[in-house]
Structure 1
């Protein structure tokens, strides 16, 4: 029996997809839709564009699949719109929500739809097949979210925060290091609230202490640090760690206090700047995200955001057009015209692109530690690599065009950045790391 799985959305979804692959390990994975006996789409239901992508993926797979195959749809979109989609997608054979990943094999065997309002939380014993890397793995430390951001519907279908035990997370990391993995990204909807559901205020700091004890961990980073639940002591903890790199991913969403208050973000721009000032150093990497066109965003608010981006040392910036979502506090606010949002996006995307290019340029001439990813995205003429400081896939790729030794996927090595062209990093491999 052959299996085709398409995972959409964020890397938290990717972990869930890897759990499903573990539960379906008796299947042979295939890349050709028309050859698969079972096809699974793990959907994203966060914003409008993600929902459209998910629906299109489902319909495209249905058009290409062979007769008598089974089309399964699961994930956030299904959980959020289960009643409507079960009725409106006769092309789909089986539906499942976000709590059924470990039981997907049972549901397929029974051809049974299933949805649950329980918060699904994996554990170290969950079967999982890591995809896309021989050295890096995402580690989900919690599920659900207690934030009440006015633009976000995630808590309505993902549930309240539920954290894994530190010992369970450490066990999973130890199992993966035993298999040769040495680079880890810790993720959740709101990582800086980790263990607050168990009345522990410094959960991430305690987690860092535990991960640092595990032999074989070469690098680690924490994604999605929300300013409303972030502590300065955590930033200091990361900066002083010999294992956790100085990678700070803090989605700010805006720079206008008026808009931040309407967004119910729980902080002002002064507090955000205090965190940024503490994060800054010669070897720090700062990632953030902003929403453009939030309801009632004035020209003044937008200009504040543009100036803020220009003045702060961000390395990577994601920009999204505001998406009007049901079951959110901002849904009934006065909306901004799409033409105005698109105009603002064009303006801010140029600022962001210039900022990111500046960050890439700073690498030129440096010698850095990198992880080999195999053949590059540019094809066989380059070997691909990822700086150990970067997160997997999203921050950029090193193109190795010169090496005196053989590099294979998973190798940790030193390289010299010889040239940076826009967002292309060209490097020479120097030597393998110990």
Structure 2
């Protein structure tokens, strides 16, 4: 198709931050292609237009976004690209500063400015394509963003001020998106939102995640459905029954708990104390035997004492989460916690983070060793040297463990879901052979 935008025939979309940003980039890429602009993603090929989709969540992410903008601003100044746009969380949060400091950037756009980006390119938004995307993930899995924004007011988090309040997509709209993705070859849907468990409250004043799971599991071609970013307070327990009974819903839950100290949880405004958190984890494991729980925690929150940190370590040791991520506290302006004294030294934050990850390393190695000899279903992702890399239902792409599969008979290909026997284990990954 001939480009409807004079001088702009190709675009390079650079996505930073989370999978929610990735979905936004994929939606925009479909619109650009409809306008006759051929989009690439994180491409090294020359392009007329570069669009940087930024993250502005914590300090490290902001620094990465700024560095990337400066890199491409230099290319714009040299004349190596024709136009440079910046969009996403950082530009939503610091739009005026970016306009003032970066004259080389041709357009600064926020998180919900797809219409404005297209208008700047003199091309209309094609509403009939809004359920369609150009996937940047492998063809057999895709992220499905079920809502935008967040109504929670966690003290450390800037997301509500960046992305606004929770807005859920309708079940019908999400089923249509899932059908489009399945028709493109997607077998695994990874449900994402700032808070999955709040889904639907803005639509009819009740949590609808369970109903959404039932509807999505009816989509032909979808074989796995995975849940990311569930908020612990008010968790809809019916979801656990569906996870236990519906073979398409992976026995996997990403549920960021952040801490276990009562004082810190109260200051964080998490809505659940330490005992409530422990009760929830016990309930999840009881109602979904064999579930893999991924959680994340913040260390170095203002005022975190050695005793509170040790309480967190003991909680992780006792709970034996299958997957754990750790963040060091980032003091973010205009958040409630910014009024507190950021009094835990950076070096101590780093040491505490390292201690948690070393503890989790031992837990992961022990759990992996217990799997040797077992048979499990694995989705095949890619070929790596003489092995195929895949994942079980207990592992999400990019962040979790992998299964390295020996395939002597050449049976495998990307996107296959196949049974394997686990033959070996290391700290995080498994080795297997096809059956």
* Structure 2: stretches of 5+ with no match in the other structure: 1-8
Secondary structure of 2:121's aligned partner? helix
Which of 178, 184, 207 pairs up with 2:183? 178
* Structure 1: stretches of 5+ with no match in the other structure: 111-121
Q: Could you tell me which residue of structure 2 aligns to residue 269 of structure 1?
A: 274
Q: Could you tell me which residue of structure 2 aligns to residue 115 of structure 1?
A: none
User: What is the distance in 2 between the residues matched to 1:24 and 1:362?
Assistant: 49
Kindly tell me: are residues 298 and 136 of structure 1, through their superposed partners in 2, closer, same or farther at Cα, counting changes over 3 Å? same
Query: In the comparison of the two structures, how many residue pairs are matched?
Result: 417
Q: CA deviation at 1:166?
A: 0.7
User: What is the distance in 2 between the residues matched to 1:103 and 1:244?
Assistant: 37
Is the counterpart of residue 367 in structure 1 residue 378 in structure 2? no
User: What is the distance in 1 between the residues matched to 2:87 and 2:121?
Assistant: 12
Q: Could you tell me which residue of structure 2 aligns to residue 119 of structure 1?
A: none
User: What is the distance in 2 between the residues matched to 1:34 and 1:91?
Assistant: 21
Which of 42, 53, 67 pairs up with 2:53? 42
Question: Scaled by the length of structure 2, what TM-score is found?
Answer: 0.90
Q: CA deviation at 1:269?
A: 1.6
Is the counterpart of residue 308 in structure 1 residue 315 in structure 2? yes
Matches within 5 A, 1:5-24: 5-24=13-32
User: What is the distance in 2 between the residues matched to 1:406 and 1:237?
Assistant: 32
Which of 192, 199, 203 pairs up with 1:198? 203
Q: CA deviation at 1:32?
A: 4.9
Secondary structure of 2:386's aligned partner? strand
User: What is the distance in 1 between the residues matched to 2:383 and 2:235?
Assistant: 38
User: What is the distance in 1 between the residues matched to 2:100 and 2:142?
Assistant: 37
User: What is the distance in 2 between the residues matched to 1:123 and 1:298?
Assistant: 54
User: What is the distance in 1 between the residues matched to 2:139 and 2:180?
Assistant: 14
Q: Could you tell me which residue of structure 2 aligns to residue 298 of structure 1?
A: 305
- Deviation above 6 Å: which 4+ runs of structure 1? none
Which of 149, 152, 173 pairs up with 1:147? 152
Which of 216, 219, 229 pairs up with 1:211? 216
User: What is the distance in 2 between the residues matched to 1:55 and 1:286?
Assistant: 34
Q: Could you tell me which residue of structure 2 aligns to residue 113 of structure 1?
A: none
Secondary structure of 1:331's aligned partner? helix
User: What is the distance in 2 between the residues matched to 1:253 and 1:16?
Assistant: 26
Q: Could you tell me which residue of structure 2 aligns to residue 82 of structure 1?
A: 95
User: What is the distance in 1 between the residues matched to 2:153 and 2:187?
Assistant: 35
Q: Could you tell me which residue of structure 2 aligns to residue 317 of structure 1?
A: 324
Question: Scaled by the length of structure 1, what TM-score is found?
Answer: 0.91
Kindly tell me: are residues 409 and 157 of structure 1, through their superposed partners in 2, closer, same or farther at Cα, counting changes over 3 Å? same
Kept after mapping to 2: 8 A contact 1:136/1:392: no
Q: Could you tell me which residue of structure 1 aligns to residue 231 of structure 2?
A: 226
